[in-house]
């Protein structure tokens, strides 16, 4: 077993870290306050390869290994949870299904543009007003074939990057009889007539990541905009989520690391009863616990990423990493606020934003309860 990053992975981490420290982190509070995507940062990301991490080089991507992908998302999470969420969603949800399930023609049509965000990012629309955890039972968005085109009608909810996207991969019901083979993924350009993107949701955290409800009103796309075969949508979605969850785990490690650094800095400076609070055991224990939690989470994330890059099944390991890392981040951010006292509760310091951002991570891309269901099924041999 080798715990050492390769030279390439270390160089990649340094490059992404420097970019995040210079361009993303200094503006995190401003874009959170404005509740706007940090467009300037996105314009600079393509050159570094951050917008095509899982896109092969032959289609203009950076094609980094899965551990390097996790490293990049951790650095972005350290800098700004909202920006990191949009980058993670673009790569894993927007590019991932096309890179994995697309035909040669589909990859050539969409991937080079996505890797440059030209004309926009990618997004994935699974969730609906009445369907989140239960996609099979809940999805009502329908796609019907008519004259060689899919005609799509329905509503989606909570879709990351929708207003910045050139295309939205949409989970549709293609067989009204229902069941696990009744869903399909169809690529829908955002400029298709009948595609409505509603105003951004007003959110607690990840406010630099735009989230929107969508309405599809007789949206027509060519028949070959479907990914894979008709009825494979649920399988593709679940397999893709296994990989996407590694990214949310990595993002959570980055959030926790940022809160931890802030807590350490503050604990050394703040005096009470004649000593820095860092000299009090109560504070030291919170800092020591955070150190252990972050390290454990990162190792779980790296293990799941390593399995992914080895081509191994990683359903359980991705769920373990996501569950542990996301709950850990909330915990570490909570304690960082405690260490900063009233300043921790202030918008003048970053830990309250990190806490708000961390809160999303146990909900998006499968709630903690869903991760526990996945893990329990594997442990109890129910699948
Ligand atoms: C900021 C943000 C960004 C998002 N981005 C996207 C996106 O890009 N694309 C997309 O498709 N979706 C996106 N989502 C939606 C997100 O993935 C869903 O909110 C999530 O999957 C949970 O679905 P739900 O909110 O409908 O909750 P529900 O499924 O209604 O669950 C409600 C509660 O019940 C629990 N629960 C449900 N079923 C069970 C069960 N069987 N056993 C035990 N507990 C259960 C859940 O864990 C949760 O606590 C986003 C959401 C947010 C907030």
Q: Which neighbouring-strand residues pair with 219?
A: 152
For residue 316, give the CATH number of its domain: 1.20.140.10
Which of these three, 53, 85, 120, is where a domain ends? Answer: 120
Pick the catalytic residue from 8, 232, 365, 383.
Answer: 365
Contact of 188 with 141, CB cutoff 8 Å:
no
- Please count the structural domains in the chain: 3
For residue 148, give the CATH number of its domain: 2.40.110.10
Burial class (CB in 10 A: 0-12, 13-18, 19+), 282: exposed
Choose one of 35, 244, 367, 374 to mutate for the ligand 1 pocket test, by most ligand atoms within 8 angstroms of C-beta. 367
Residues 196 and 249 placed together within one structural domain of the fold: no
Name the residue with tokens 């060689």.
148
Determine which residue's CA is closest to atom 25 belonging to ligand 1: 132
Asked if residue 189 belongs to a domain, the reply is: yes
Residues 157 and 82 placed together within one structural domain of the fold: no
What pLDDT score does 1 carry?
85
Residues 270 and 351 placed together within one structural domain of the fold: yes
Closest approach atom of ligand 1 to CA 201: 1
Q: Structure tokens of 62?
A: 């950076």
Å from CA of 359 to ligand 1 middle: 13
Which of these three, 232, 255, 289, is where a domain ends? Answer: 232
- In order along its 383 residues, the chain shows pLDDT tens digits of 889 999 999 999 999 999 999 999 999 999 999 999 999 999 999 999 999 999 999 999 999 999 999 999 999 999 999 999 999 999 999 999 999 999 999 999 999 999 999 999 999 999 999 999 999 999 999 999 999 999 999 999 999 999 999 999 999 999 999 999 999 999 999 999 999 999 999 999 999 999 999 999 999 999 999 999 999 999 999 999 999 999 999 999 999 999 999 999 999 999 999 999 999 999 999 999 999 999 999 999 999 999 999 999 999 999 999 999 999 999 999 999 999 999 999 999 999 999 999 999 999 999 999 999 999 999 999 76
Residues with CB under 6 A from ligand 1: 89, 93, 123-127, 132-133, 158-160, 203, 206, 211, 360, 363-367, 369-370
Asked if residue 2 belongs to a domain, the reply is: no
Å from CA of 118 to ligand 1 middle: 30
Closest approach atom of ligand 1 to CA 203: 1
What pLDDT score does 382 carry?
72
Name the residue with tokens 């893990």.
375
Output the CA torsion sign for 331, 67, 2, 300. positive
Residues 219 and 239 placed together within one structural domain of the fold: no
Determine which residue's CA is closest to atom 12 belonging to ligand 1: 127
What pLDDT score does 383 carry?
61
Contact of 37 with 209, CB cutoff 8 Å:
yes
Asked if residue 1 belongs to a domain, the reply is: no
Residues 260 and 374 placed together within one structural domain of the fold: yes
Q: Structure tokens of 332?
A: 């570490």
Q: Is 232 a residue of the active site?
A: no
Asked if residue 353 belongs to a domain, the reply is: yes
Determine which residue's CA is closest to atom 50 belonging to ligand 1: 158
Closest approach atom of ligand 1 to CA 127: 11
**Host domain of residue 210:** 123-232
Closest approach atom of ligand 1 to CA 131: 26
Å from CA of 97 to ligand 1 middle: 20
CA separation for the pair 354, 267 (Å, rounded):
18
What pLDDT score does 39 carry?
97
Å from CA of 369 to ligand 1 middle: 10
Give a three-class secondary structure readout of the chain. CCCCCCHHHHHHHHHHHHHHHHHHHHHHHHHHHHCCCCHHHHHHHHHHCCCCCCCCHHHCCCCCCHHHHHHHHHHHHHHCHHHHHHHHHHHHHHHHHHHHHCCHHHHHHHHHHHHHCCCCEEEEECCECCECCCHHHHCCCEEEEECCEEEEEEEEEEEECHHHEEEEEEEEECCCCCCCCCEEEEEEECCCCCEEECCCCCCCCCCCCCEEEEEEEEEEEEHHHECCCCCCHHHHHHHHHHHHHHHHHHHHHHHHHHHHHHHHHHHHHCEECCEEHHHCHHHHHHHHHHHHHHHHHHHHHHHHHHHHHCCCCCHHHHHHHHHHHHHHHHHHHHHHHHHHHHHHHCCCCCHHHHHHHHHHHCCCCCCHHHHHHHHHHHHCCCC
Contact of 187 with 110, CB cutoff 8 Å:
yes
Å from CA of 132 to ligand 1 middle: 4
Asked if residue 164 belongs to a domain, the reply is: yes
Which of these three, 91, 120, 149, is where a domain ends? Answer: 120
Å from CA of 187 to ligand 1 middle: 22
């Amino acid at each position: 077993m080798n715990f050492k990053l390769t030279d390439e992975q270390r160089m990649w981490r340094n490059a992404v870290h420097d970019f995040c420290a210079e361009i993303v982190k200094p503006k995190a509070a401003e874009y959170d306050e404005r509740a706007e995507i940090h467009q300037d940062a996105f314009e600079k990301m393509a050159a570094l390869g951050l917008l095509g991490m899982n896109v092969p080089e032959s289609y203009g991507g950076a094609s980094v290994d899965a551990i390097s992908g996790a490293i990049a998302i951790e650095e972005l999470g350290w800098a700004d949870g909202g920006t990191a969420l949009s980058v993670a969603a673009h790569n894993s949800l927007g590019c991932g299904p096309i890179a994995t399930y697309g035909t040669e023609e589909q990859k050539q049509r969409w991937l080079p543009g996505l890797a440059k965000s030209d004309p926009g990012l990618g997004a994935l629309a699974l969730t609906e007003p009445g369907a989140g955890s239960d996609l099979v039972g809940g999805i009502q968005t329908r796609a019907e074939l008519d004259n060689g085109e899919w005609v799509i009608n329905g509503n989606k909810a909570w879709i990351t990057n929708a207003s910045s996207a050139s295309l939205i991969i949409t989970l549709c019901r293609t067989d009204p009889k229902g069941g696990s083979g009744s869903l399909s993924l169809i690529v829908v350009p955002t400029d298709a007539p009948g595609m409505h993107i509603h105003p951004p949701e007003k959110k607690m955290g990840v406010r630099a990541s735009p989230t929107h409800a969508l309405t599809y009103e007789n949206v027509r796309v060519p028949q070959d905009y479907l990914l894979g075969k008709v009825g494979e949508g649920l399988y593709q979605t679940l397999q893709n989520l296994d990989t996407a969850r590694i990214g949310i785990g990595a993002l959570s490690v980055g959030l926790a690391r940022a809160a931890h650094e802030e807590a350490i800095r503050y604990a050394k400076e703040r005096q009470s009863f004649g000593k820095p609070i860092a000299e009090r055991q109560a504070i030291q224990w919170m800092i020591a616990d955070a150190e252990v939690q972050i390290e454990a989470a990162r190792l779980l994330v790296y293990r799941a990423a390593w399995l992914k890059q080895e081509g191994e099944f990683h359903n359980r390991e991705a769920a373990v990493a996501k569950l542990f890392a996301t709950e850990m981040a909330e915990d570490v951010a909570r304690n960082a606020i405690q260490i900063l006292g009233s300043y921790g509760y202030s918008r003048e310091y970053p830990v309250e934003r990190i806490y708000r951002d961390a809160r999303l991570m146990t909900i998006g891309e499968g709630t903690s309860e869903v991760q526990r269901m996945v893990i329990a099924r594997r442990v109890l041999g129910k699948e």
